[in-house]
Amino acid sequence: MITPNESKQEDMGQDKERQLRPRVLLAAFLRYPAAMRSYSALSLLRQGLAGHRGWDRAWRDADPASHYDVVIIGGGGHGLSTAYYLARKHGLSKVAVLERGWLGGGNSGRNTQVCRSNYFYPESAAFYEHSLRLFESLSGELNFNVMFSSRGNLELSHGLEELEINRRWANAMTLNGIDSELLDRDDIRRMVPILDLDCRFPVVGGFVQRRAGIARHDAVAWAFARGASAHGVDIVQRCEVLGFERGDSRIRAVNTSRGTIAADRFALCVAGHSGALAAKAGLRLPIHSIALQAMVTEPVKPVLDTVVGSAVIHCYVSQSDRGEIVIGGGADPFNSYAQRGALPTTQDNAAAVRELFPGFGRLRVMRQWAGVCDIAPDSSPVVGCTPIENLYLSAGWGTGGFKAIPAGGDTLAHTIASGEPHPLLRPFALDRFRTGCLIDEGAAAGVAH
């Protein structure tokens, strides 16, 4: 028989246990290591309760070893994605990425974030469609939110002649197995109500790729860096390549600001500096480098839920997830390695945007920048093998480098690992300038250069 005193003590013990149980569960939750292995709502909650003091570093900042299987020069999106796919798909973990500055400090963080595959020729369409499909699943694969948003890419027509050209372009996309949809004025008015269809160059129609969109440019570079590092890749920042040591038809090592590094294979993924660095290896490339400017305004409430481009008025516009209006236009008309733009181009871009969107005229510009683009004569990339036996190239991306990051890394990694060009890369080989099999995608590039 339980006495009243014993019953009271039991109730007090149960009350104390109920009070302690949340603390015990919380302590066990905070000690649980599995939450640290991935980014998730659970790990975010865990770290929030712990004061965000237990996050692991996203990637290792490694010191260079003396020898690697593969050395990738360039720590932007293409270099990091190539390293990631080499390690994940081909099992090559003894890989180094050398970056003279910081990760994503070049074109990967200096673009307008557009992801699309609305190219005209079958070779380009197949490659960029592969990249867009990889973008669609990239956040899940890399466990890193790259903020990809399929908001569509609308190309405007300002005359019947341009409408016919765009109709041909849209039909080619359909034949290539890529979604496209022709729109008339009423369709465009419903889709983008704030667009002035009766501007100085009246809009008569257009076409849209609805699966296109934007992704956060910095996040893409960070995601591939984290994934590559998790698979054992050495990411070496503040390591400038000064020259190459050659022997016969091969490169034996690179001389860097942090010592000499030998490798079996090398890859150049340095965007606008491709020509200058390839020349140090004894390779002349048919490309030139120019600056492509962009800018963002102060943030406003959501008013534009698609990407709008105009070849005649010469601008393309979108709104970021933070509310900023992102504006791009034509490339500078002179060669440059500067990561800054010229005031006349900024003024031209602003005037073009005001023509299409008069309501944006009162917004203040917050930031302006430029990326250094390497342009080939046919405005298509130059990727794959080179005349130097163990040197591989990812160059000539021009104004389309960001949207090509996943596919560029995937296909170049296949080429490096197997020694044979990936099927999607065969049309973009360097020797096409000798055979004359060019792929002129100047129009689909979206801006004049």
Per-residue pLDDT of the chain (449 residues; tens, 9 = 90+): 444 454 444 455 545 444 544 554 444 444 433 333 688 888 888 889 889 888 888 999 999 999 999 999 999 999 999 999 999 999 998 999 999 999 999 999 899 999 999 999 999 999 999 999 999 999 999 999 999 999 999 999 999 999 999 999 999 999 999 999 999 999 999 999 999 999 999 999 999 999 999 999 999 999 999 999 999 999 999 999 999 999 888 999 999 999 999 999 999 999 999 999 999 999 999 999 999 999 999 999 999 999 999 999 989 999 999 999 999 988 888 888 888 777 888 899 999 999 999 999 999 999 999 999 999 999 999 999 999 999 999 999 998 899 999 999 999 999 999 999 999 999 999 999 999 999 988 766 655 54
pLDDT of residue 253: 98
Write the CA distances from 431 to 107, 216, 247, 425, integer angstroms.
Answer: 26, 34, 23, 12
Axis-axis angle for helices 405-418, 122-142 (nearest 10): 100
Q: Report the relative pairing of strands 153-157 and 307-310 from DSSP bridges.
A: parallel
Q: Domains along the chain?
A: 67-113+218-286+378-435 (3.50.50.60), 140-213+289-375 (3.30.9.10)
Q: What pTM does this model have?
A: 0.89
Q: Which of 54, 42, 63, 170 is nearest to 117 (CA)?
A: 170
Q: Which residues contact 386 (CB under 8 A, 6 or more apart)?
A: 283, 392, 393, 430
In contact, 153 and 212? CB cutoff 8 Å: yes
pLDDT of residue 205: 97
CA 142 to chain centre: 14
CA distance 132 to 235: 26
In contact, 372 and 271? CB cutoff 8 Å: yes
CA torsion 445-285-384-68 (nearest 10°) is: -130
pLDDT of residue 341: 74
**Whose structure tokens read 């905070």?**
30
pLDDT of residue 445: 65
Burial 154-189 (b: 16+ CB within 10 A, else e): bbbbbeeebbeebbebbebbeebebbbebbeeebbe
Could you give the 3-state DSSP secondary structure of residue 382?
A: strand
pLDDT of residue 62: 94
CA distance 9 to 303: 64
CA distance 62 to 83: 14
CA distance 155 to 316: 9
What is the number of alpha carbons within 13 Å of residue 215 lying toward its C-beta? 31
Q: Which of 384, 394, 396 is nearest to 449 (CA)?
A: 396
pLDDT of residue 443: 65
Identity of residue 101? G
pLDDT of residue 17: 47
Instruction: Look up residue 231 and give its two tokens.
Output: 């698979």
